[in-house]
Copies of this chain bind each other. A is one copy, B any other.
Amino acid sequence: MKEIKVQTSTHPYKIMIGEKLRFNLSEVLSKKYASVLIITDSHVSKLYLKDVQNSLANEKVFTAVIPAGEQSKSIEQFYELHTKAIENGLNRNSLIIALGGGVVGDLAGFVAATYMRGIDYIQVPTTILAHDSSVGGKVAINHALGKNMIGNFYPPRAVIYDVETVHTLSKAEIRSGYAELVKEALISDVAFFEDIMAASLDEMNNERLISHLQQGIEVKARIVEEDEKESGVRKFLNFGHTLGHAIEAELGYGKMTHGEAIAIGMLFALGLSQKYYGVNLPLEELTSWMKANAYPSSLPQLNPNDLLAKMASDKKVLNDRIPMVLLKEIGKPETVEFTKEELLEELSSFLGKMVKA
């Protein structure tokens, strides 16, 4: 088992990465809780809820199962979980466990952050993608007018990552999660990047997966430690996301996985970086790796102006300029602001190639 410590403005917490951890949850509880509410989704509940429940045999455990999928990050589901918590008599000494992917983690974390003004919660991610969202304390629900618009910065008390649970993921979900690992590699360390480029997602073993997750989480953890509330370096984690989020929104959520859209966004950001700094970056290497691992290599016709409008409405935008995270070299990210006009040509040309491809 690998262990990573994170310091936050309110408390330190541990991230544990290993095999079979879901069978030993009670061992990692740092104190005796009055009661525990496990929040999971309709998909994960069938696979791992019993294991987690059994591992908490000495606790007073309640469960809440939400429908799987992004649409559960709604104000209605949020309120519904509060109802459940109140009806089950949860108090300030109770614990919430978020068992699932990013949707469960974001939603259950936000319920914990707001129930009686905040109770403890633990993230138990079951997807590769959630290695990213489960660390750092960003919790939220969606508003009809924007993703993750309603939320808090509220760090968990622990992240328990049982890598066995990711073996039930679809290939698209594995690609999605690995895109965030690639991002963490690109903004931090060439050796980590090469290590991923040498791997085939179809032939992943636990040892290698644990190593990649550990390195990725380490990158994320050090960044959020330095900048918990996203006023500085945390924005580097947005590499590939400015365009990626816009593509997700334009296609309609669910048409492409988050990470697959981010992967396309990274190709654009790498190309832009090469041009902006006049440097060489492993754009071709990443393109080949994505192809070899069956990432989508084309997009339907999208209007660049619509995408740019979406890019300019991101939460991180503070004026009319679009902040793009670029790379001077691998491990040297930098935020550069562009006007929509400045990005239009580059984006149009990029989209043109993606349609043809």
Indicate if A338 sits at the interface (CB-CB under 8 A).
no
- A-B contacts besides A9-B9, A115-B149, A117-B138, 19 pairs, CB < 8 Å: A75-B75, A79-B143, A82-B143, A83-B143, A83-B144, A86-B145, A86-B146, A92-B316, A93-B318, A113-B152, A114-B152, A116-B151, A116-B315, A117-B151, A117-B152, A117-B229, A118-B152, A118-B153, A118-B229
Kindly state the separation between the CA atoms of A14 and B280 in the bound complex, as whole angstroms.
52
Indicate if A150 sits at the interface (CB-CB under 8 A).
yes
1/0 per residue A299-331: CB within 8 Å of B?
000000000000000011111000000000000
Kindly state the separation between the CA atoms of A114 and B117 in the bound complex, as whole angstroms.
12
Q: Jot down 21 A-B pairs with beta carbons below 8 A, ordered by A.
A: A9-B9, A75-B75, A75-B79, A79-B143, A79-B150, A82-B150, A83-B143, A86-B146, A87-B145, A91-B317, A91-B318, A92-B316, A93-B318, A114-B150, A114-B151, A117-B138, A117-B148, A117-B151, A117-B153, A117-B229, A152-B152
A229 contacts across to B, CB distance below 8 A = 117-118
Kindly state the separation between the CA atoms of A93 and B140 in the bound complex, as whole angstroms.
19
Kindly state the separation between the CA atoms of A277 and B183 in the bound complex, as whole angstroms.
64
Kindly state the separation between the CA atoms of A319 and B113 in the bound complex, as whole angstroms.
21
1/0 per residue A69-105: CB within 8 Å of B?
0000001000100110011000111000000000000
Q: How many residues of A contact B (CB 8 A)?
A: 37
A316 contacts across to B, CB distance below 8 A = 92
Kindly state the separation between the CA atoms of A144 and B79 in the bound complex, as whole angstroms.
10
A151 contacts across to B, CB distance below 8 A = 114, 116-117
A75 contacts across to B, CB distance below 8 A = 75, 79
**What residues make up the interface of A, taking CB atoms closer than 8 Å to B?**
9-10, 34, 75, 79, 82-83, 86-87, 91-93, 113-118, 138, 140, 143-146, 148-153, 229-230, 315-319
Please determine whether A86 and B9 come into contact, CB atoms closer than 8 angstroms.
no
Kindly state the separation between the CA atoms of A87 and B149 in the bound complex, as whole angstroms.
12
Please determine whether A91 and B150 come into contact, CB atoms closer than 8 angstroms.
no
Residue of B at shortest CB range from A314?
Answer: B91
Kindly state the separation between the CA atoms of A10 and B150 in the bound complex, as whole angstroms.
20
